[in-house]
Structure 1
Amino acid sequence: MADSLKIIFTGVGRGLKDSVVGTFKIYNIDKDLSEKSQQQQSEQRRTVLSMRREERQKADQLTGKGEPKKNSEPSVRNRILVCCAWNGGVFGLSIFMFNRAVLPCLQFLIHYFTGGTAATIWHWMGPLLTWTFSALWIIPIFILSKIVNALWFQDIADAAYRKSRGRPLLPSLQMLIADLLFSIILESVFLIQGMLAKRLLPIPGIGDLVSILHMCLLYSLYSFEYKWFNMNWPLQKRVAYIENNWPYFVGFGLPLAIMTSMADSFVISGCVFSLFFPLFIISANEAGHIHEIHDMPLMLFTPAAKVTNQLFPKLSRRATPSSGHTTPSSGHSTPAGTPKKQLHIR
């Protein structure tokens, strides 16, 4: 029992450390990418064909004044700064200013000019202004942010992956689409599962603990999914790996789960998530090996996987590789003949 608790707390502590320390790796990513690009260019110069290609590229880069064009591709840090500026500066700050500045000022002006009838007027005017602001600003910006963030998150993850591991190993287009759709459905069902656990468990405090546990694992899956997808890991293998190493991933997703749970609304929680999530993508990409597999897997994804399989059986079959992987309903999958001990991050 003592050894099991030691393994759990050690795994949680290591995951927490990797999630925080890994965010500081953004200062080295752009430098490493630049050095790697220069090294590849120096290797290409060894052939006559590459030398001619380089001369043509130099000629094409010259403008009318004879000055070379600058590389317009933004750095990883610039991508993260733009993402944070949009989610925190535009989206989050606008909500904060409306609730903390605009509404109180309007309420004060109404009370100043109307006197005794201010409470009656504000009783219907306050909710009307909030609803109008939500309909005309929050909802459209929230939907736009989801689309833009998806592109930015993928861009950040791909740049970080190229720095550490090179070219992604992507599956076929059909498998890619099926895996993406099945992953979205499974994660949505898992999110609902965590919300139901919080509401339905009768013991005080246990429901909140189980809900936080769900969110930690889900945020860890979100963070590592970009890396594992580029490594061509199928969804079944990704979920099984988290279930077998759940102490580490509970610790990794704990900071983001706590920050989002402190928000008083779903929209604010989504804004906080989008603000800090790019840093966790970097941390997940830079995370080291997980050498120990926990002997007692926490199979929280298995009920959600079974529900998803029952609802979308054809999609689950398309998302399951044919090279000896088990079905996702079991919640575990390893390549044929490969023991679980070999499922470490490479």
Structure 2
Amino acid sequence: MHEIVKMVLLAMIKGIYDSFKGMLVVFYLDKEVNERARNRQNSSAIRQKQVEESSQRPPKKHEKSKVVHNVIQCALLNGGVFLLSVLLFEYVLLPTIDSIFNIMFGAESFVTGVVWLWVKYFILLIYRTAWLIPLFLLSKIINALWFQDIADSAYRYSRGKPTSFPSISMYFADSIFSIVVQCLFLIQTTCISYLPFYPVGYALYYAQMSLLYSLYSFEYKWFNMGWELHKRLSFIEENWPYFIGFGLPLTILTQISESFVINGCVFSILFPLFIISGNEANPVILSNNFGCNTKIFSFVIIVANVIFSRTIGQTKKVPLTSGSR
């Protein structure tokens, strides 16, 4: 028993340590990627020159890696624009207008008590429909593109050319099923947080959110490695101590506020670093003697299979994670 506890703690500590690697790698990743590209370009310069002279076409420009640029852009969009606007509105503009009403009409007056509530309601309605929701949707689309570019550049830097799926249809089916499983797992995690015995529910919530954030972070690399969904989930289930440790810092940092929007901004600012960390990490693989496969994704996969079979028809079901590797 003592050895098992020690193994779990060491794996968790290793996961926490690896989660911070992206904060270091990001500073020299672009430089390394561009230097390797220039070396490859110089080694084939003669052959390229011959091809260019024979075809009379202008030489192709080397496309530089922009990982740091994209990470900074994510921070500026999600922190400098989105998060700052939310903080200014909720903690500066609304309190200022409230104070003006109190000064002009008195704290106990009808205007301050009733009229201000209606004014605040319409201000919030306009703010959310004209600014918050459009910016949220726009940032999600832009973030997805930047996240993918960061992940691809990091993968090429450390592992070379990505391995493609056998077919495009399999790629899209795997991606859609993965999104459904992740959404269901998030619902499962939220429900568990409401368990009557608070410490247990609280601990399970953090553990499952850490696993989910680890899946988010590693999925880009595993996609590029050609891993299908059942293999990705099985790997997390069998080595859960490491992945709880890896996702724990991001889980804690995204729980600092009671506002879902603020926590979402914090996630979008930090997540690119965790993508890079996941790409660079070498997860602790527990031995088969450990014997503690959680099968934590099994229930949501069953539900997802039911949803797909009823909405799409006779679709190919993803096998349960237990014993699928």
Which amino acid is the alignment partner of residue 51 of structure 2?
A: R
Q: Distance in 1 between matches of 2:225 and 2:2?
A: 36
Q: Distance in 2 between matches of 1:316 and 1:179?
A: 16
Q: Distance in 2 between matches of 1:332 and 1:24?
A: 36
Which amino acid is the alignment partner of residue 20 of structure 1?
A: F
Which amino acid is the alignment partner of residue 259 of structure 1?
A: L
1:17 counterpart residue number? 17
The 1:37–1:90 alpha-carbon spacing in structure 2 relative to 1, beyond 3 Å, is: same
Q: Distance in 2 between matches of 1:155 and 1:227?
A: 12
> 2:300 aligned to 288, 301, 304, which one?
304
Q: Distance in 2 between matches of 1:316 and 1:188?
A: 21
- Higher relative CO (CA 8 A, sep ≥ 6), structure 1 or 2? 2
The alignment's C-alpha RMSD in Å is: 2.4
Q: CA deviation at 1:112?
A: 2.6
Farther-moved stretch of structure 1 (35-44 vs 22-31): 35-44
Alignment of 1:98-247 (within 5 A): 98-115=89-106, 116=109, 117-171=111-165, 172-199=167-194, 201-247=195-241
Q: Distance in 2 between matches of 1:118 and 1:165?
A: 62
Farther-moved stretch of structure 1 (304-313 vs 83-92): 304-313
Q: Are 1:329 and 2:320 matched, yes or no?
A: yes
Farther-moved stretch of structure 1 (82-91 vs 258-267): 258-267
**Helix, strand or coil at the partner of 1:167:** coil
> 2:75 aligned to 74, 80, 84, which one?
84
Farther-moved stretch of structure 1 (288-297 vs 141-150): 288-297
The 1:73–1:37 alpha-carbon spacing in structure 2 relative to 1, beyond 3 Å, is: closer
Report how many residues are paired: 318
Farther-moved stretch of structure 1 (105-114 vs 153-162): 105-114
Identical-pair percentage: 40
Q: CA deviation at 1:110?
A: 2.0
Q: Indicate if the aligned counterparts of 1:175 and 1:319 stay in contact, CA closer than 8 A.
A: no
Which amino acid is the alignment partner of residue 141 of structure 2?
A: I
**Helix, strand or coil at the partner of 2:197:** coil
1:60 counterpart residue number? 58
Q: CA deviation at 1:332?
A: 4.3
Farther-moved stretch of structure 1 (240-249 vs 120-129): 120-129
Q: CA deviation at 1:209?
A: 1.1
Q: Indicate if the aligned counterparts of 1:309 and 1:329 stay in contact, CA closer than 8 A.
A: no
Q: Distance in 2 between matches of 1:90 and 1:42?
A: 41
Q: Indicate if the aligned counterparts of 1:44 and 1:50 stay in contact, CA closer than 8 A.
A: yes
Q: Are 1:96 and 2:94 matched, yes or no?
A: no
Q: CA deviation at 1:268?
A: 1.7
TM-score, structure 2 as length reference = 0.90
Q: Distance in 2 between matches of 1:90 and 1:271?
A: 10
Encode CA deviations 1:244-297: one digit per residue, 9 max, x unaligned: 000000000001111112221222221111111000000000112534344311
Q: CA deviation at 1:40?
A: 1.5
TM-score, structure 1 as length reference = 0.85
Farther-moved stretch of structure 1 (50-59 vs 1-10): 50-59
The 1:131–1:257 alpha-carbon spacing in structure 2 relative to 1, beyond 3 Å, is: same
Q: CA deviation at 1:51?
A: 2.9
Structure 2, gaps ≥5 residues long:
none
Which amino acid is the alignment partner of residue 180 of structure 1?
A: S
Q: Indicate if the aligned counterparts of 1:13 and 1:248 stay in contact, CA closer than 8 A.
A: yes
Farther-moved stretch of structure 1 (136-145 vs 103-112): 103-112
**Helix, strand or coil at the partner of 1:299:** coil
Q: Indicate if the aligned counterparts of 1:92 and 1:268 stay in contact, CA closer than 8 A.
A: yes
